[in-house]
Structure 1
């Protein structure tokens, strides 16, 4: 059954380039970005794995652990890691799950028969420290993933979890936010948003980012 936003994601134990991973134990109190690849030695995915390695300091700042998956085995992955490091100029600093038995691919509904009945689609899952699914994105094989966008979404999720705001179109860290419509009381608004706010419409009120 397909995972939906807010679901607790399945736990699993699977081999990886960093040894056996017990997913929930490995995740700990961190956020996780899990992203899948149809097989090893694919060109677009090679660039993506290198980019995530390069961005590791940005993920670390946000308390996010990266975890890749490909349906090939660990020995194949290790050969691919060498190519990634050679061509992308970044040492691979996070694990790649091996999934030759398709166990994780099936748990996370990564096999889409109309795309390919044996290979995983290129999915991304953002999972919070409560093991809840907060974002899913599925990309076609021809289009590389935008990891700046994934960082932006994580920034939004972490901000809106802690403050009574949402983030508008094209928002990025530091921009104004939207006050959630459920807040009506002027005194509560004054207390929660000491920087003030601008009312465009009664339901559209903009305020400086609360944690800046």
Structure 2
């Protein structure tokens, strides 16, 4: 009897809320700039792409880019006061010798990024510390980029950018946290190593006390 009541209640809820088919953004309309990490020079003709989906563009003479939205039709059960959250679309910029990682942040019900994106190019062969990594741990390029940024520390260009908007440190913290978190899980870094990386990230964005 209890199971029957539960099924009837669920059916009633579906009847009230219903299913809705709508277009949801996988990648939002995004504008931004690609800059050299150290010099701040704009990168012309850099390829900016969404990771794992077929959306890309090239930067103009001043390093600016505009990425068109990619949406997909999805059918969801729409529940009251649900379905709205902050989503992220991972992005990558590449030149012949350098690359940058970042993301476009947007509301799940929107197809437009909530702020312009700045991507900072680092050379693919930039140095980074491997002291905390097991010998058999080979970082992915995204993870290596985060390690290289931490090794370099915030350049004058990056420091100026971090101070320009209260959202910028949060953005870079998420970027570094995500990459180092993936590395830690995949390579089974010790708790001590993870805490040390967290301290370095906090120092990078200026939250080291």
Rg (Cα) greater in structure:
2
Question: Greater strand share, 1 or 2?
Answer: 2
TM-score, normalised via structure 2 length: 0.23
TM-score, normalised via structure 1 length: 0.22
